[in-house]
Amino acid sequence: MKGPVWYELKHICKQTGARYGILHTPHGDFETPIFMPVGTQATVKTLVPEEIKTVSDGLILGNTYHLWLQPGDEIIKEFGGIRGFMNWDGALLTDSGGFQVFSLQEIRKITEEGVYFRHHKSGEKLFLSPEKSIEIQTNLGADIMMAFDECPPFYESEVYLKDSVNRTLRWAKRCMDSHHNKENQALFGIVQGGPYKELRKYAMDKLEEINFPGYSIGGLSVGETKEEMYEMLRYLKDIMPQNKSRYLMGVGSPDDLIMGAMLGIDMFDCVLPSRNARHGSAFTSLGRVQVKNQSLKHDHSPLDPNCDCYVCKNFSRGYLNHLIKANEILGMRLLTYHNLYFLKNLMHNIRKAIKEDRLLDFAKEQMIKLGYKHKVEEFL
C-alpha cells in the first residue's frame, strides 16, 4: 500500500524471522527496525536539532497531550507544525494522547464520546475525543499519527478489556473518518487487548478492516513481566500484516530492542535513554553504568571504550561523575547524547545482523555483554 507513509519488507532473517525494511515518509526514508527518540515538548530534552540528527536516524516523536496543553496546537500550527516550531527537518510521529488515559487514571473519566480530564497541574477541565486528537495531530504536522485509544492496565479483567477494546475500535473508525489529510499524513491503528491473545487477534482483525497503513502495539511495557511482553509479541508476529509497519510503543531498553526486533517489530520509541541520562545512568557495550558511583571518581577511561560518540571520545568517566553529582546540565546533556547514540548504533547492528541472517547469534552475544539473563531462543 503506497501513500504518505508506507513500508517495504526487504528481508526476513533466516535465524529469527526478524524483518528488515524501509519506511517511506514525506520527510525521509528510514531503514527498520528503527528506534525513535521522544521529543515530548517539541524537544528531545537537553539536545539541539543538530545533535538530534547525530544521535537518531531522523525520525522523532512529539507528544499530543502535552503540546495541546502547552503552548497549544493552534500556536504550533502557526509556526508550520512541530517541524517548523523546533527547526527540525527530519520526520515526525505523534502519539494520540491515549497513553494519558492510562497514566492520569486519578483525574479522568472515560465515556463513549471521549475522555474527560483535569489538567495534571492546574486542575482545569479538559476533553479529548478521537476527532479532537486527529485535529491536534494534524495541526502538529506529523508524518505519522496514532488513532486515539484507551491504554488499559495489562492485568485488567477480561470483561473490562473486551469493553475497552471494542470502544477503542469504535474510536479508531472515528479517527479514520475524521482524518482528512491522508495525502500527507498517515494514521496508524493501535492493537490493544492486554494479556488475552484472542482479544488481540480480534482487535487486529477489526483494525485491518479499517485498513490503516500501519499498526501499533499498545498496552505493553505497562507493568507486565518481560516474559509476558515477549510472549505476546511472539503471538502477534504471526497475525500482523506482513506488508505494513509494526510499531511497539513505549519500549526502548537495549534488551527489549533486541528481543522486539527478533519478534518482528519495525519501530520503537521510549523516553528511557533521556530519562536515564538525567538520573546519571548510561547504556554501554559492557552493560549499564551508574555514573554517580563513587568508584568512577578517579576513572580516567571513557564512558564506553567501544563507543566513538563525541562524549566517549572527549570526556572521562571521572568528569562525567563530577557533572552528574554536581547536578550540572552539561552532564545530563552528555549522557543523553551518549545513550541515544548507543541505541542508534545498536539498531544499526541489529539491521546488519538481520540482513546477514545472524540475528540470533548477535542477540545471544549482546545479552551476555550487556548483562541480561534472557534465554533468547525460548521466545522464537
Active site residues: 95, 269
What is the b/e burial string over 123-151, where b = at least 16 CB atoms within 10 angstroms of the residue's CB?
Answer: eeebebbbbbbbbbbbbbbbbbbbbbbbb
Residues 6+ apart with CB under 8 A from 21: 7, 8, 9, 10, 11, 31, 32, 245, 266
Q: Locate all alpha helices (DSSP H) within 112-251, ordered by sequence.
A: 130-140, 158-178, 197-210, 226-237
CB count within 10 Å of CB 215 equals 23
Distance between CA atoms of 62 and 144, rounded to whole angstroms?
10
The burial of 169, by beta-carbon neighbours within 10 Å (0-12 exposed, 13-18 middle, 19 or more buried), is given as: buried
Neighbour tally for 177: CB within 10 Å: 12
Separation of alpha carbons 79 and 88, rounded Å: 12
CA 176, chain centre distance (Å): 22
C-alpha triplet 304, 273, 33: angle, nearest 5° = 95
CA-to-CA distance for 224 and 58, rounded, in angstroms?
A: 31
Residue 127 pairs with which residues in a beta bridge?
116
Q: At what angle do helices 158-178 and 197-210 cross, to 10 degrees?
A: 10
Q: Report the distance separating Cα 317 and Cα 323, nearest Å.
A: 10
Distance of CA 100 to the CA centre of its chain: 15
Distance CA 161, CA 155 (A): 9
